[in-house]
């Protein structure tokens, strides 16, 4: 039995059960969805989450009854009269639409005394559905037909999977993920905020979130500089003609913001920084000796998202990508591509994400319609990508149809806390843009040639990697990128001078330290610091001053260790510098 059919059949069962509990309620629609099903209805009387068990029990009773889904037809008039009798404006509207589409008779399904307009298919009998594979999930308001000028209905969501085990796994994974949701932790730890006045899809990083971003950014930029990248700054606006040349205006228009006319010149918020970097390349003539050229930038860009899909730091109206373009000869392509993979792998290793990585080779689909035509260039780029993955012994899978419109790409996927793969880093081979933007270099024989371009991100999009790390670590970040690394707590005010001497030494060594010298109990100070998930909490009282020590509380173990204060400071500096992922004190 197909799970979609089961889910949809259960939607009828739920509607029948609800009508028994709340007679006179009016049905609208009840489709299956990816984790279950819902039904939109106008409910007569109160209905809240308190009634879920009652509704579930009613449904289970119906399932036990071995009721058959029996189909019959009604003419448009019969159907319409049927719903006029109960004054159901929703079904009447559906029937009017079906009539306009030329339907003459409509299929209805009967389930005991319950009748519903529906195309099917359904299970044969309610006893075909196991009683323990569904759960009423939540209530939501839903405008009839998604139109805010139309009545608001109640949507009852239910989860449904093929087995009880699958249902339970889904629920427990979702609960675990909710606890780690970056939107929850991000607010609790004061990492970012969203202001309705600024805009729903425009998150702002608060000082602590900004600290994490700055550390990650410096880390990525420094590593790129070591590996031969040249960093640039380019503007978020560009003339529209750049994107006409690149083809984004044709292939990518739905993701771009409206064009701005400024004194007769068209500008657009950039969805990509590539053309800006190409213009930098063209600023001076290049010879084969200059290649490869590697430009990089933490580049702001703006892409349109539907307002309903804007979520936290993951789906935003704009974002900041650790972007870069390697412009090289055909002979240099393989080695340069491998270097970009090595850079991403190095960064992921330091972030503690290596173990949850997978590789996806995104190629054209069979039809090849939505891609820029130049078959031989595509064939070369695709086979180079596959060769590289085979030669470097990467475990990868191929995904047809996920290529960019101008070239194949390697997507480096990370597994989220719910077990889903998300693309966090991308490396693309582009044989098209050099031609379009007329990028050239003079080869050894004096002839002008077109280079190949690798588009790549190193640490990905700053907002996305931040969201990912928040969820991966549930806000308990490794020391090296924790916004506050050490918190000093004094037992009473007579300990403040000694506390300050340690505080200043840590500050001088660029350790991110906070102090709590309020006149509060030490127990309260510890509890508050723990909620902030600070790696090390330091307690300073009489004994510590007497022996020139500190008492260190480790976030993970809750162990308290007494260390000589200078030893402690040196250990912290070393753990920070070495970017160790575990807490070792
Ligand atoms: Zn149906
Ligand atoms: Zn690019």
pLDDT digits (tens, 9 = 90+) for 27-76: 999 999 999 999 999 999 999 999 999 999 999 999 999 999 999 999 99
**Mind giving me the DSSP string for 48-61?**
-GGGHHHHHHHHHH
- The arithmetic mean of pLDDT across residues 513-525, rounded, is 94
Asked whether the predicted pLDDT for residue 355 surpasses 90, the reply is: no
- The arithmetic mean of pLDDT across residues 515-535, rounded, is 93
- The arithmetic mean of pLDDT across residues 117-131, rounded, is 93
Angle at which helices 333-351 and 375-391 cross, to 10°: 50
Pull the structure tokens for residue 234: 């380019």
∠ CA 30-36-42, rounded to 5°: 30
User: What proportion of the chain, given as a percentage, has pLDDT over 90?
Assistant: 83
Question: What is the distance in A from the centroid of ligand 1 to the CA of 118?
Answer: 5
- The arithmetic mean of pLDDT across residues 105-133, rounded, is 93
Q: Which residues neighbour 251 within 8 Å (Cβ) at sequence distance 6 or greater? A: 370, 372, 405
Question: What is the distance in A from the centroid of ligand 2 to the CA of 381?
Answer: 16
Q: In 3-state terms, the chain is what percent helix, strand and coil (to 5)?
A: 40, 25, 30
Out of 172-176, 326-330, 471-475, pick the least confident.
172-176
Question: What is the distance in A from the centroid of ligand 2 to the CA of 273?
Answer: 6
Beta partners for residue 162, in sequence order: none
- The arithmetic mean of pLDDT across residues 385-399, rounded, is 92
For residue 372, what pLDDT is reported? 67
Asked whether the predicted pLDDT for residue 370 surpasses 80, the reply is: no
- Confidence band, pLDDT 50/70/90 cuts, at residue 556: confident
Question: What is the distance in A from the centroid of ligand 1 to the CA of 12?
Answer: 6
Ligand that comes closest to the CA of residue 430: 2
- The arithmetic mean of pLDDT across residues 87-95, rounded, is 95
Question: What is the distance in A from the centroid of ligand 1 to the CA of 85?
Answer: 21
Pull the structure tokens for residue 287: 């010879």
User: What proportion of the chain, given as a percentage, has pLDDT over 70?
Assistant: 99
Question: What is the distance in A from the centroid of ligand 2 to the CA of 514?
Answer: 40
Neighbours of 373 (CB within 10 A): 9
**Mind giving me the DSSP string for 301-348?**
EE----GGG-BTTTB-SEEEEEEEEEEE-TTTHHHHHHHHHHHHHHHH
Ligand that comes closest to the CA of residue 110: 1
Question: What is the distance in A from the centroid of ligand 1 to the CA of 40?
Answer: 13
Asked whether the predicted pLDDT for residue 451 surpasses 80, the reply is: yes
- The arithmetic mean of pLDDT across residues 337-361, rounded, is 93
Asked whether the bond before 488 is cis by omega within 30 degrees of 0, the reply is no
- The arithmetic mean of pLDDT across residues 195-205, rounded, is 93
Asked whether the predicted pLDDT for residue 475 surpasses 90, the reply is: yes
Ligand that comes closest to the CA of residue 429: 2
Asked whether the predicted pLDDT for residue 371 surpasses 80, the reply is: no
pTM: 0.80
For residue 368, what pLDDT is reported? 66
Find, among 319, 325, 328, the residue nearest to 230 by Cα.
Answer: 325
- Confidence band, pLDDT 50/70/90 cuts, at residue 373: low
For residue 418, what pLDDT is reported? 76
Q: Which residues neighbour 143 within 8 Å (Cβ) at sequence distance 6 or greater? A: 149, 150, 151, 152, 153
Alpha-carbon span 443 to 440, nearest angstrom: 9
Token look-up 């309610």 returns 126
Question: What is the distance in A from the centroid of ligand 1 to the CA of 5?
Answer: 9
Which pairs count as long-range contacts for 569-575, CB under 8 Å and 24+ apart, including other chains?
569/502, 569/505, 569/506, 569/509, 569/511, 572/479, 572/485, 572/486, 572/506, 572/509, 572/511, 572/536, 573/509, 573/511, 575/479, 575/480
Token look-up 């205006």 returns 249
∠ CA 382-386-387, rounded to 5°: 115
- The arithmetic mean of pLDDT across residues 10-21, rounded, is 97
For residue 416, what pLDDT is reported? 86
Strands 237-239 and 260-262: unpaired
**Mind giving me the DSSP string for 113-165?**
TEEEE------SBGGGS-TTSEEEEEEEEEEGGG-TTSPEEEEEEEEE-SSHH
Ligand that comes closest to the CA of residue 248: 2
For residue 174, what pLDDT is reported? 87
Alpha-carbon span 214 to 220, nearest angstrom: 10
∠ CA 274-280-281, rounded to 5°: 90
For residue 369, what pLDDT is reported? 67
Q: What is the pLDDT of residues 248-269, one digit of tens each?
A: 888 888 889 999 999 999 999 9
Question: What is the distance in A from the centroid of ligand 2 to the CA of 469?
Answer: 24
For residue 146, what pLDDT is reported? 86
């Amino acid at each position: 039995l197909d799970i979609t059919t089961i889910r949809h059949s259960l939607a009828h069962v739920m509607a029948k059960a609800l009508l028994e509990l709340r007679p006179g309620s009016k049905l609208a629609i009840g489709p299956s969805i990816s984790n279950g099903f819902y039904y939109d209805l106008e409910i007569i009387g109160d209905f809240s989450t308190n009634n879920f068990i009652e509704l579930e029990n009613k449904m289970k009773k119906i399932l036990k009854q071995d009721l058959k889904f029996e189909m019959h037809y009604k003419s448009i008039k019969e159907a319409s009269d049927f719903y006029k009798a109960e004054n159901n404006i929703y079904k009447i509207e559906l029937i009017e639409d079906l009539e306009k589409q030329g339907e003459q008779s409509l299929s209805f399904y009967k389930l005991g005394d319950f009748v519903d307009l529906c195309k099917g298919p359904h299970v044969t009998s309610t006893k075909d559905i196991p009683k323990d594979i569904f759960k009423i999930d939540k209530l939501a308001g839903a405008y009839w037909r998604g139109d805010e000028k139309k009545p608001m209905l109640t949507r009852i969501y239910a989860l449904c999977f093929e087995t009880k085990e699958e249902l339970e796994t889904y629920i427990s994974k979702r609960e675990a993920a909710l606890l780690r949701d970056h939107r929850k932790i991000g607010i609790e730890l004061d990492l970012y905020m969203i202001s309705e006045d600024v805009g729903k899809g425009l998150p702002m990083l608060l000082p602590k979130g900004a600290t994490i971003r700055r550390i990650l950014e410096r880390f990525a930029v420094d590593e790129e500089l070591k590996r031969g990248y040249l960093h640039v700054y380019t503007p978020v606006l560009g003339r529209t003609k750049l994107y006409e040349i690149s083809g984004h205006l044709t292939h990518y228009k739905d993701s771009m913001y409206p064009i701005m006319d400024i004194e007769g010149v068209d500008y657009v918020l950039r969805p990509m920084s590539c053309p800006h970097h190409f213009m930098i390349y063209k600023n001076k003539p290049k010879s084969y000796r200059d290649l490869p050229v590697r430009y990089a930038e933490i580049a702001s860009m703006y892409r349109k998202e539907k307002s309903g899909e804007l979520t936290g730091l993951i789906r935003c109206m704009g974002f900041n990508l650790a972007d870069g373009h390697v412009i090289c000869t055909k002979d240099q392509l393989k080695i340069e591509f491998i270097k970009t993979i090595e850079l991403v792998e190095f960064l992921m290793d330091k972030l503690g994400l290596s173990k949850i990585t997978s590789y996806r080779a995104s190629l054209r689909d069979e039809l090849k319609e939505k891609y820029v035509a130049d078959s031989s260039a595509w064939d070369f780029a695709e086979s180079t990508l596959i060769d590289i993955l085979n030669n470097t012994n990467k475990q990868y899978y191929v995904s047809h149809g996920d290529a960019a419109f101008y070239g194949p790409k390697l997507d480096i996927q990370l597994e989220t806390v719910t077990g889903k793969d998300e693309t966090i880093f991308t490396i693309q081979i582009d044989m098209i843009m050099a031609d379009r933007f007329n990028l050239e270099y003079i080869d050894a024989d004096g002839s002008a040639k077109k280079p190949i371009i690798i588009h790549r991100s190193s640490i990905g999009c700053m907002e996305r990697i931040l969201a990912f790390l928040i969820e991966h670590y549930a806000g308990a970040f490794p020391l090296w990128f924790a916004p506050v690394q050490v918190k000093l707590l004094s037992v009473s005010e007579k300990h403040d001078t000694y506390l300050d001497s340690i505080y200043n030494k840590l500050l001088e060594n660029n350790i991110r330290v906070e102090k709590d010298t309020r006149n509060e109990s030490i127990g309260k100070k510890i509890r508050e610091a723990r909620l902030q998930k600070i790696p090390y909490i330091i307690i300073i009282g009489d004994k510590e001053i007497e022996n020139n020590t500190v008492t260190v509380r480790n976030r993970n173990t809750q162990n308290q260790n007494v260390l000589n204060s200078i030893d402690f400071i040196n250990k912290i500096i070393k753990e920070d510098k070495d970017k160790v992922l575990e807490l070792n004190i």
